Structure 1
Amino acid sequence: MHFGCLSLEGFQSVPLRTVFVTVLLSCLMLPLLRIVGLRAFSMASESYTSGTHSAAFVTCPNEQVAKDLARGMVEKKLAACVNIVPKIMSIYEWQGKIEEDNEVLLMIKTRSSKVSALAEYVRSNHPYEVAEVISLPIDQGNPPYLKWLGDVVSE
């Protein structure tokens, strides 16, 4: 049996349906494999050292304090981005009493090397007697985002 230049004489033992399905699936999978390959190459070509950047968290009494602190952090290059999460409820012990307050949460993305300066900025500009500033190292993430973060907040 001949199909144009293709001779199937050597494929006597392979059913034509199997050959057709294999070729069809290969053609359908090619775009998906290309996308996966390009993404893997992109991620592999941009290396990231775990812990270079950190996510820090600060609670504030209201949105105005949160906005002022966030803007100052970004302007002073202490953070690349600050998300303001409104309306959180905090329950904590303070001076021997259980307190319950509505607060606003700042989620701050920065370099780990800037966390001390960030904490000092918060202590100097926050209305609380003891302001929360905690940070966690970023282990992994989207390489282009982490590159941008590092570009915005330089060493």
Structure 2
Amino acid sequence: MSPEYAMQGLFSEKSDVFSFGVLLLEIVSRRKNTKFYEDAESLSLLGFAWKLWNADEIQPLIDPEISNPSCNEDIMRCIQIGLLCVQELARDRPTMTAVVSMLNSETANLPPPNQPGFVQRQTLLDGESSNMTSDGLCSINNLSLTNLHGR
């Protein structure tokens, strides 16, 4: 889910680009974004991919089943395109037309990606309520139920 949709309820074609970027990273890594907890500092697969990209240590991200020295350039290109698609701000993401062009290698030089949305893990402090975040802010989620009875 794109950051602008998750935070503000705004949806556009760039939201689909974000989703495609997540899917591309999931395919290359063979890991689910929603169930990714390998790295204690990462919120998700996006955070893990970004951390490895910055450290120039991308190999741990790549699924061993597809890891092949003859394909490394194509795999790196897919990771870079995936990271370009998951940029936090919608205006920084390419269009799907540009993504297709990048995947077809029609675009020779790809721009460097910026930090994607949803990178940092939000952890709970020990002994605190599950509604309390590490920065001390509290989320109170009240719920009211209404029972409807027919006449």
**Is TM > 0.5 for Structure 1 vs Structure 2?**
no
TM-score w.r.t. length of structure 2: 0.25
TM-score w.r.t. length of structure 1: 0.24
